[in-house]
A and B are shown apart, each in its own frame.
Chain A
Amino acid sequence: MFSWILFSEHNAHNAAADTVHAAADTLAHAAANGEHGGDENLFTRLLHHIYDSRELELPWGHVELPHFHLFGLDLSLTKHVVFLWLAAVILIVTLSIVARKNTKNRVPKGLGNLVEVFVLFVRDEIVVPNMGKAGLKYLPYLLTNFFFILVMNLLGLIPYGASATGNVSVTAGLAIIAFFMIQISAIRAQGFGHYLAHLTGGVHWALWPIMIPIEVLGLFTKPFALCIRLFANMTGGHIVILALIGLIFVFKSLMVAPVSVTFALGIYMLELFVAFLQAYIFTMLTSLFMGLGMPAESHGHEH
């Protein structure tokens, strides 16, 4: 139970390093845009809430985050880094409490019960159908993935919050970890020789110069799709909500407010669903891709 809690911390640090890189990029971009002239339209204001920034928005104003420079790299804290760490801390604290409680009472109640529902769901509906019993040793990783992404997604839905998954570097970090997990599980299940043989695509040797690059490319397209899917889904939802609220200010009329607030509330509900759905899909696809690399015999298809 504890291993995956620790794993989540590890996970967070890896992704955090990536975020910082991108944050610097985004900020440079924003600065460049700002210099062009002060045309502050709705869209630039809207993007201000989507992009990573160096200050936190709190109910009583803006708080500047501390700056760090290490080995010539700009490792300053940014909004997304803060929320990424917050997600990790929330998970470490709540899950260690839940783990301790659940080992004590045989019938979990309250929060322990809620967490157990998700854990059992990931185990019985995602890991076992996709990877069989052999996949259970990767369960800690997939559980970490699921809870970490879920909490990051949900943090974006609270007021003054931001979702770290709305930053392409965070999702890229998660996808890079997924990439290594997919390769490692395939190599462990098939053996290195068989793994390499699979890369030739099983075609005539004359076609190898064409097929090997394409098969190698195929290894990267799957995590890439994972990365973009999560990022786009989270960013898209936020943009739609902000744009709907922004309509009030575009029309400069309170008559629009009931309509746009109703629609924004509807999209918010959808976002709530999408937060769970995307965590599920990321975990499901990772386990599916890991399962594809495992020999078919080991799959337990007990429907």
Chain B
Amino acid sequence: MNEEKKFGELMQTAAPYMTLGIQIAAAVVLFLFIGKYADKAFGTKPWLMVTGIMLGFTGGMIHFFREVIELSKKEEDERRKKN
């Protein structure tokens, strides 16, 4: 673990995680707007938007955890391959 990694290698490990944060926010915002338009169409003022936010957050979290688990599994495999 204490082996010194080169900058490039560090970036390669870190890079897939860098967009994960934006992803959650973007998911919430996307579903917020879908909910807002649906509200306008059905005349159910705040409720579909609130549902949208919740759905977006849930989806964002599911995506986040799936991605993290997948990436850490990949990293584990690589480490095992190296040793």
Chain A contacts to B: CB under 8 angstroms: 125-126, 129-130, 201-203, 207, 210-211, 213-215, 217-218, 221-222, 224-225, 281, 284-285, 288, 292, 296, 301, 303
- Give chain A nearest CB distance to B48 CB in angstroms: 14
| Interchain CB contact under 8 A, B8 and A214 | no
| Interchain CB contact under 8 A, A284 and B15 | yes
**In the complex, chain B residues whose CB is within 8 Å of the CB of A213:** 27, 30-31, 34, 59
| Interchain CB contact under 8 A, B30 and A214 | yes
| Interchain CB contact under 8 A, A303 and B82 | yes
Complex formed: what's the CA distance from A284 to B78 in Å?
A: 19
In the complex, which residue of chain B has the Cβ closest to the Cβ of A203? B62
Interface SS of A by simple majority: helix
In the complex, which residue of chain A has the Cβ closest to the Cβ of B74? A296
Q: B2 interface residue, CB < 8 Å from A?
A: no
- Give chain B nearest CB distance to A194 CB in angstroms: 16
| Interchain CB contact under 8 A, B12 and A207 | no
| Interchain CB contact under 8 A, A218 and B59 | no
Q: 4 shortest A-B CB distances, which residue pairs?
A: A210-B59, A214-B59, A214-B27, A221-B22
| Interchain CB contact under 8 A, B66 and A225 | no
Chain B contacts to A: CB under 8 angstroms: 8-9, 11-12, 15-16, 18-19, 22-23, 26-27, 30-31, 34, 55-56, 58-60, 62-63, 66, 74, 77-78, 81-82
- Give chain A nearest CB distance to B79 CB in angstroms: 11
| Interchain CB contact under 8 A, A218 and B62 | no
Complex formed: what's the CA distance from A211 to B64 in Å?
A: 11
Complex formed: what's the CA distance from A207 to B22 in Å?
A: 21
**In the complex, chain B residues whose CB is within 8 Å of the CB of A292:** 16
**In the complex, chain A residues whose CB is within 8 Å of the CB of B59:** 207, 210-211, 213-214
**In the complex, chain B residues whose CB is within 8 Å of the CB of A224:** 22
- Give chain A nearest CB distance to B47 CB in angstroms: 17
28 CB contacts below 8 A, A to B, read A126-B8, A129-B8, A129-B9, A130-B12, A201-B63, A203-B66, A207-B59, A210-B58, A211-B63, A213-B27, A213-B30, A213-B59, A214-B63, A215-B63, A217-B26, A217-B27, A218-B19, A218-B23, A218-B63, A222-B19, A224-B22, A281-B11, A284-B11, A284-B15, A288-B12, A296-B74, A296-B77, A301-B82
**In the complex, chain B residues whose CB is within 8 Å of the CB of A202:** 66
| Interchain CB contact under 8 A, B74 and A214 | no
| Interchain CB contact under 8 A, B81 and A221 | no
| Interchain CB contact under 8 A, A125 and B8 | yes
In the complex, which residue of chain B has the Cβ closest to the Cβ of A277? B7
**In the complex, chain A residues whose CB is within 8 Å of the CB of B58:** 210
Q: Which residue of B30, B34, B56, B62 is within 8 Å of A207 (Cβ)?
A: B62
Q: Which residue of A126, A201, A281, A296 is within 8 Å of B66 (Cβ)?
A: A201
